[in-house]
Amino acid sequence: MSHHSKLEKFEDNWQTSMGGLQPDGNVLLRGKNIFTDLNEDRWMEFLLFAVTGRKDSNLARLIEAIWVICTSYPDPRIWNNRVAALAGTSRSTGVLATAGALAVTEAMIYGSRAILGASDFLYRLKARLNENVCLDEVVLCELKEFRNVYGFGRPVLSEDERVKPMMEFASSRGYGQGKYINLVFEIDNFFKQSRYKYRVNIAAVTGGLLADEGIKPREFYDMTTLAFTGGYMPCYADALSKPEGALFPLRSDRIRFTGAVKQRKWNEFFGMG
């Protein structure tokens, strides 16, 4: 072990090319001046540039459509939205509602983990196909190793109603014919003809569309981190507009105790009763 901490050289010393407030009052992001170079950007163009360093207004528009079409149902039954609605019904603040719901969106069966996982799977699948492994084998190996394939299968509903409108939008903008999105539907066909009940979900479709534009899994994850907020806020506002505590109240008898011992006393447990 060394005799000095590695942290000493970083003490009061953060050097970055990402940007920040300059002594002259300008603000840089990746070398661009926010006030003069990026001031005409749409928010999604700005975010795409912040995350990837890319300036591409068409791609930003596609991502914006993903946010609108695929991520923000104002339905308080969906778990992340329900957090926002619970914050509303218990009269917490809007930002806390959003922060809580956002954290919850990093879920496995939907949201950020599914998004990251679907994109990662498509990249790994493509790499395996390039090694002349057949698609069926890669999919089955994934299932065997992980017992799921991100981007396929869905809780509550089996078919994903977002696929069609998203693909229609993508086609209208000249997207949707690339190798990754084609792979997504090849996998879907494989599942259709198999004994498995998985069907393509929107994480694979959007992952495929963006992989065709060179968006990597972690970039996709970053670009969709805030995507679901459009669902939280109406759920929060709706709950605020109703009486306190009115969101799906639970009676005591809706708690079903399944533990081993229904009643016992503390001191008797320790032989002191």
Binding marks (x or -) toward other proteins, 9..28, rule CB under 8 A? --xxxxxxxxxx-x-----x
Q: Considering the rule CB under 8 A, would residue 261 count as an interface residue with other proteins?
A: yes
Mark 45-84 with x for binding to other proteins (rule: CB under 8 A) and - for no binding.
----------------------------------------
C-alpha neighbours within 13 Å on the C-beta side of residue 46: 13
Nearer to other proteins (CB atom), residue 174 or residue 271: 271
Dist. CA 247–CA 235, nearest whole Å: 10
Stretch that binds other proteins, among 7-15, 151-159, 194-202, 207-215 (CB under 8 A): 7-15
CA distance 1 to 245: 57
48: Cβ–Cβ under 8 A, 6 or more apart, which residues?
A: 54, 55, 56, 59, 60, 63, 223
Taking CB under 8 A as the rule, does residue 173 contact other proteins?
A: no
Question: Does residue 132 interact with other proteins by CB under 8 A?
Answer: no
Nearest distance in Å: CB 147, other proteins: 12
Convert residues 230-259 into a mask of x (bound to other proteins by CB under 8 A) and - (unbound).
-------------------xxxxxxxxxxx
Asked if 156 is part of the footprint of other proteins (rule: CB under 8 A), the reply reads no
89, 242 contact by CB (below 8 A): yes
Distance in angstroms (rounded) separating the CA atoms of residues 224 and 66: 9
Interaction of residue 36 with other proteins, rule CB under 8 A: no
262 is a site residue for other proteins (CB under 8 A): yes
| Rg of the chain on CA atoms, in Å | 24
Q: How far is CA 170 from CA 60, 152, 215, in A?
A: 12, 20, 15
Closest separation between CB of residue 187 and other proteins, Å? 16
List Cβ neighbours of 211 (8 Å cut-off, separation of 6 or more): 119, 122, 123, 126, 178, 180, 181, 220
The type of residue at 258 is: T
Site membership for other proteins, residue 128 (CB under 8 A)? no
Question: Is the Cβ of residue 132 or residue 258 nearer to other proteins in the bound state?
Answer: 258
Applying CB under 8 A, the residues found at the interface with other proteins are 1-7, 11-20, 22, 28, 31, 92-93, 95-96, 99-100, 103, 106, 112-113, 116-117, 120-121, 124, 145-146, 217-218, 221, 249-267, 269-270
